[in-house]
Amino acid sequence: MDSAEIHQIVILGSGNVATRLSIALQLAGLEIMQIFGRNVRDAKILAERLGVKHTDDLKAVIPSADLYLLCLSDDALTDVIGSFPFKNKLLVHTSGTISMDVFQNIQNNYGIFYPLQTLSKNKEIKFEGIPICIEANSKTNEAKLVRLAEKISNNIHLINSDQRKILHVAAVFASNFTNYFYSVSKEILESNQLSFDLLKPLIIETVEKALSQNPDETQTGPARRGDKKIISAHLEYLNSQSEFKEMYELISKHITHKYSKQ
């Protein structure tokens, strides 16, 4: 067996990231040896889905894997790293926010394997184009993780812990906040007996334009044009939904400011 290659993997976690990553890795020919999960029911469900063993006892984790992949919430992560029974195995987490320092003085071989994507247990996804951000404590471990990532994606990046945090902040704006605005628009429509479906072609076209061109240039709307009359009319309409009004006002202010400088 090539010692520089990862073949056998134990997955620690049973949530969205654990599910999608373990399925993708298994499909790519890696051997998932075991699922560890503190919630034994969820661990069992994922293990059965993969046809492998599971445990909720950290001491019962199989010691012979090439990689221990921690797909845990940030809080659980620190606990599990602190109680992990082996010191020399390759231990890697998948979090966007936790610095690699979390392993320091506890483990000898460690790193990050962060897929920059929103993942759901029950929504299939192709990993091919998903950016996988790699960091490791040594060049040897980095090379191992890059080779592993290449088995599921063609979009691999060496990203350090500081850059990873910046990526995560940017992702909150580009994904979480935009998704929230879809739900705001849905609520505005439905509280007036209009269907959210009406906006779907607009939403798709907006994204296609922003990504194929440049969102700075594809910006449209009353704030972009500095159309104070329409902004006032919209704010007046939103009087009864003060949370939405507050956001409309702030974001219009910033868009107006940005484009008035040009």
- 213-252 positions binding a copy of itself, by CB under 8 A: 214-216, 218-224, 227, 229-230, 233-234, 237-238, 243-244, 246-248, 250-251
Using the rule CB under 8 A, is 105 a contact of a copy of itself?
A: no
172 touches a copy of itself by CB under 8 A = yes
Separation CA 258–CA 262 (nearest Å): 7
Q: Which stretch binds a copy of itself (CB under 8 A): 5-13, 22-30, 111-119, 138-146?
A: 111-119
Q: How many CA atoms lie within 13 A of 166 on its CB side?
A: 5
Which residue's entry shows tokens 């797909």? 71
> Quick check: 39 binds a copy of itself (CB under 8 A)?
no
List binders of a copy of itself among 140-159 (CB under 8 A). Answer: 155, 157, 159
- Using rule CB under 8 A, residue 161 touches a copy of itself: no
Contact assessment for residue 127 and residue 17, using Cβ atoms and an 8 Å cutoff: no
Residue 68 in tokens: 């221990």
* The length of the chain, given as a count of residues: 262
Q: Rank residues 108 and 206 by Cβ distance to a copy of itself and give the closer one.
A: 206
For residue 35, CA distances in Å to 25, 31, 42, 114, 151 come to 13, 12, 10, 19, 20
Q: Is 27 a residue that touches a copy of itself (CB under 8 A)?
A: no
138 versus 178: smaller Cβ distance to a copy of itself: 178
